[in-house]
Structure formats: structure tokens, C-alpha cells
Structure 1
Amino acid sequence: MSTLKFSDARLLQVILAPQISEKSTYVADKHEQVIFRVCPDATKPEVKAAVEMLFKVEVSSVNMLVVKGKQKRFGRFMGRRSDWKKAFVCLKPGQEINFAAGQ
């Protein structure tokens, strides 16, 4: 488990949702990674601690990137979607997160 200490309230706010798409399931199968949508000010150690706390798995590494919002049209007006942050969480061998277990 992680040696750094974060408050449980903060760790519960870091992960917003799993990113479930065709590309993310391919990445999960091939590289043993899980993709999450995280809050914009989250850091790699926070994401690692949050995943380990919530899902009771061991994380080997975390990669993050900021997805830029698209230009979109709302009627006559041009608008822009918000930027958001994505985290690629690499699990240690033999670890697995099953999102369908709760159904």
C-alpha cells in the first residue's frame, strides 16, 4: 500500500468515474490498465492511493493526461466543452477491477 497519507474525504473526491469505451476496454485487456476520469487538480500519488483504497488492489503506476474540450455549436453560438483529466492506472500482475460485479 501507499506510504503517503491523504485524507479519506479527499481520496473519495479524486476519482469521478471509470472511463468505459471501446478503446478503454482494449487498453484494459492488453496492458492491464484501468482508465478513470479524475478531478482536474488530482495528482498521481492521490489517484494511486484512491484506487488502492476504493478497489482494494495494488497499483504499479499511474499515467495522466488532460483531454482538451471540443469546440461545439449551441444554436447560433459557438461554445467550448470543459477540459477534463484522464488517469491510466496500471495494476500489478494478477490484480483486476470488475465494474460489472455490482449489478
Structure 2
Amino acid sequence: MDGIKYAVVTDKSIRLLSKNNQYTSNVESGSTRTEIKHSVELFFGVKIIAMNSHRLRGKGKRMGSIMGQTMHYRRMIITLQPGYSIPPFRKKRT
């Protein structure tokens, strides 16, 4: 699970999960679709029908007079076969 950073929990991602069995997560921008697909199938034991991905640009941040930018990232939407599901992603407890 090196490529997947964390699950995305937004209104749209919850709607996709309930209607279409689609899971949304942010992944490392250098990882490929096949790497993510194989790691998800092996780790969770599910079958993937389709994967959609898009690259999101980092947001501009200002610190005084210096303008910087956050890191770019990639988001994957994974569609599972009917009958398969991924257990909820859990936050680390401190």
C-alpha cells in the first residue's frame, strides 16, 4: 500500500460509494494505475472493474512576500465489482 496516501471523504465521494460502489482516494503522483490496481487487489482481496484518475494541481500559499505552492497530487476513483467492498479506512490514533 505504498502508493495510496489516504481516502477522500467528501459529499461526492460518499455519493459515489453508496450508488456505484466506487472508492475515492489520493495517491502518490509518481505511482501508475497498474501499480495502484495490483496493490489494492492484493491488499484488500477485491476485484476492480475500472479506475479513473486525474491530477490535481497544488494550491498557492503565501508566506510574507514569498509565494509558494503545495505539492501536486493524484486522485483515483476505483470501481469494484458488485459484491466486493473495502473496509473503512481508519485514522491513526495518537
Task: Please give the range of the TM-score, normalised by the shorter of the 2 chains.
Answer: 0.7 to 0.9
In the superposition, the TM-score normalised over structure 1's length comes to: 0.76
Consecutive aligned runs of 4 or more in structure 1 exceeding 4 Å deviation = none
Deviations 1:26-82 (A, max 9, x none): 121122110111111111111111111111111111111101111122234322111
Q: CA RMSD in A?
A: 1.9
Q: Which residue of 1 aligns with 2:17?
A: 28
Identical amino acids, percent of aligned pairs: 27
Q: 1:54 aligns with which of 38, 43, 47?
A: 43
- Secondary structure at the aligned position of 2:41 is classed as helix
Q: Report the count of equivalent residues.
A: 91
Paired amino acid for 1:49: H
Contact kept in structure 1, 2:50 and 2:79, CA below 8 Å: yes
Quote the Cα distance in structure 2 between the aligned partners of 1:85 and 1:94. 27
- Mapping of 1:38-53 within 5 angstroms? 38-53=27-42
- Mapping of 1:1-103 within 5 angstroms? 12-99=1-88
Q: Which runs of 5+ in 2 are unaligned?
A: none
